[in-house]
Chains A and B, each alone.
Chain A
Amino acid sequence: MPETLPQQATLLVKLHGQSSRHIELTQDTLTIGRKADNALAIEDAAVSAHHARIVKVQAVFFLEDLMSTNGTTINGRPITRHQLHDADVIAIGQHRLVFQENAATSAAAPAPFVDLDHTTVLRRTDRTPDGPTLAVKVLVIGGKTDRTEYPLTKQVNVIGSQDGAVIRLTGWFAPKSAATIARRGQTYSISPSKGTKALLVNGTDVVGQQELKDGDEIEVAGVTLKFSAHSETKNTSR
């Protein structure tokens, strides 16, 4: 059985021209519309007779638009059926409803409420904070490329003439892909592509793959590049 939650989910109701109030979402269904038979009746011609409803499925709430004339949005996006998350803003015409999940956020293990041998889904909203980042780029020292400096923004950065290559080779005989610089976490390594005759880092032939360090000089397919990596710490607020 699911654990009972210490506080009910609520809806902060701000109807146009009225002061705000709270409604506790205790029932399985909360109907919203112009007619008086709705749990939340809104007197407004722009609101359909039966405009929308909030439905509770186990411990999760969904908002459903009931084919209303003017539609329903969550955080500005029109929806037909959508799960509600804490702080979502529902808009029906000029009226606003803010969904507020119960306040209990627990660091304890969630109790699984179905058979342990089958996978169940848990909703999570926290995100891990950013760590220090590297400003990484490649500088062109010699050879034909379309720019002289390339920040390495991708996980796989192709050195070649193909579409999508980050370090674009423009020489007549430039191969589609001469080598790739791949990022894994904070580490960058270079490996030759199929058909590449020679890939040198600091004058030494690379077989397979080699990690790149700040200042390394790369020679391949007639171009010479310098790898540059400086760390900078980002201050992010959660």
Chain B
Amino acid sequence: MADPALGLYVVCDGMGGGNAGEIASALAVEKIHAHLVEAARHPDLSLVGPYDATVSASANRLASAIRMANEAVHRESWSRPDYVGMGTTVVAVVLHEEVLAIAHVGDSRLYLIRNGTIQALTTDHSWVAEQILKGFITEEEAERSPQRNIVTKALGVESSVDVELAEVPVKNGDKLLLCSDGLTRGVHPNDILQILSGSEDLPAMSDRLIVMANEAGGHDNTTVVVVALRDELQAGLWERLKKRFVA
């Protein structure tokens, strides 16, 4: 989802049997948005969870929103037997002036496209990512690993969650890509960079990304949000949510 007035962009990728995953991700997105809308109206709204002094108030507010979403999904997961165990990943950013607050839980990602290069600004909370960090396997091996879908953190699974926060300066000309793992599993970052470079047609770019994800055999509903940072403060954007192609 995207709310340019708040500078908020979010992708959630749900997990759970039947439609529980969709329920979880939709609920998380709604709660995150609602908390930030309320905080914009009442800046003294208390924060949920510990304060991280290495990032701005804006980033702390985003983490707070995600913790609230976690509680909501967790509560909801107990309301019906077919919801038990449901959860969702989240990757979310808040753009304020030229500083980007980044928060994530799980293996949905944020990429920064700048000056013809693409760089992941989040590291997955997944079992294979941790194995790569420890040097036990390579990225290629990770892609083929039977454990590649195991996430070590998600919203809704426990009553409290550890949100990873970061903050970076951004500038005019940058593009941001938030996406679920349905995209990154099948499409190489270089191909993503190709699609996102040299064009300002955001809807077309988002569509092409989804097509590539599905051609690469993506089983997930792939979600992408593409944001282009333009001069006059505001970000131009397009989002293509949950585009499901029936073969």
Q: Which A residues lie at the B interface, using CB under 8 A?
A: 57-58, 79, 81-83, 109-110, 112, 116-124, 128, 153-156, 158, 162-164, 176-177, 180, 182, 184, 191, 193-194
Query: Is A110 in contact with B55, judged by CB distance below 8 angstroms?
Result: no
16 A-B pairs in the complex with CB atoms less than 8 angstroms apart: A58-B85, A109-B147, A110-B127, A116-B149, A118-B149, A119-B89, A120-B15, A120-B151, A122-B150, A124-B127, A156-B56, A156-B99, A162-B97, A180-B169, A182-B169, A184-B168
Q: Let me know if B46 is at the binding interface, CB within 8 A.
A: no
**Chain B residues with CB under 8 A of A194:** 98, 171-172
Nearest B residue to A191 via CB reads: B169
A191 to B168, CA, bound (A): 11
Query: Is B149 in contact with A180, judged by CB distance below 8 angstroms?
Result: no
A128 to B118, CA, bound (A): 27
Least CB distance from B164 to A in Å reads 12
Q: Let me know if B158 is at the binding interface, CB within 8 A.
A: yes
The answer to whether residues A122 and B127 also contact, given A82-B158, A112-B147, A155-B166 and a CB cut-off of 8 A, is yes
**Chain A residues with CB under 8 A of B22:** none
**Chain A residues with CB under 8 A of B159:** 79, 81-83
- The B interface, classified by DSSP as helix, strand, loop or mixed, is loop
A152 to B57, CA, bound (A): 16
**Chain A residues with CB under 8 A of B117:** none
**Chain B residues with CB under 8 A of A122:** 127, 150-152
Query: Is A164 in contact with B167, judged by CB distance below 8 angstroms?
Result: no
Nearest A residue to B101 via CB reads: A156
A156 to B151, CA, bound (A): 28
- Map CB proximity to A onto B163-180 as digits: 1 under 8 Å, 0 otherwise: 000111101100000000
Count, chain B residues at interface, CB 8 A: 41
Name B53's contact: one of A81, A123, A153 (CB within 8 Å).
A153
Name B15's contact: one of A82, A110, A119, A123 (CB within 8 Å).
A119
Least CB distance from A206 to B in Å reads 13
A218 to B33, CA, bound (A): 39
Least CB distance from B9 to A in Å reads 18
Q: Let me know if B157 is at the binding interface, CB within 8 A.
A: yes
Q: Let me know if B80 is at the binding interface, CB within 8 A.
A: no
Query: Is A117 in contact with B55, judged by CB distance below 8 angstroms?
Result: no
A86 to B99, CA, bound (A): 39
Query: Is A164 in contact with B57, judged by CB distance below 8 angstroms?
Result: yes
Name B168's contact: one of A112, A155, A164 (CB within 8 Å).
A155
**Chain B residues with CB under 8 A of A176:** 97
A124 to B143, CA, bound (A): 21
The answer to whether residues A120 and B150 also contact, given A57-B85, A83-B158, A194-B172 and a CB cut-off of 8 A, is yes
A82 to B181, CA, bound (A): 28
Most buried by A among B57, B87, B150, B219: B150
**Chain A residues with CB under 8 A of B116:** none
The answer to whether residues A154 and B55 also contact, given A112-B149, A117-B219, A119-B181 and a CB cut-off of 8 A, is yes
Query: Is A124 in contact with B152, judged by CB distance below 8 angstroms?
Result: yes
Nearest A residue to B97 via CB reads: A177
A193 to B84, CA, bound (A): 48
**Chain B residues with CB under 8 A of A154:** 53-56, 167
Name B150's contact: one of A57, A110, A128, A163 (CB within 8 Å).
A110
Most buried by B among A110, A112, A156: A156
A177 to B169, CA, bound (A): 12
Least CB distance from A162 to B in Å reads 8
Name B151's contact: one of A57, A121, A164 (CB within 8 Å).
A121
**Chain B residues with CB under 8 A of A109:** 127, 145-147
Query: Is A120 in contact with B149, judged by CB distance below 8 angstroms?
Result: yes
Least CB distance from A112 to B in Å reads 6
Q: Let me know if B154 is at the binding interface, CB within 8 A.
A: yes
Least CB distance from A107 to B in Å reads 9
Q: Let me know if B245 is at the binding interface, CB within 8 A.
A: no
The answer to whether residues A121 and B152 also contact, given A155-B166, A194-B98 and a CB cut-off of 8 A, is yes
The answer to whether residues A121 and B15 also contact, given A57-B84, A155-B166, A180-B98 and a CB cut-off of 8 A, is yes
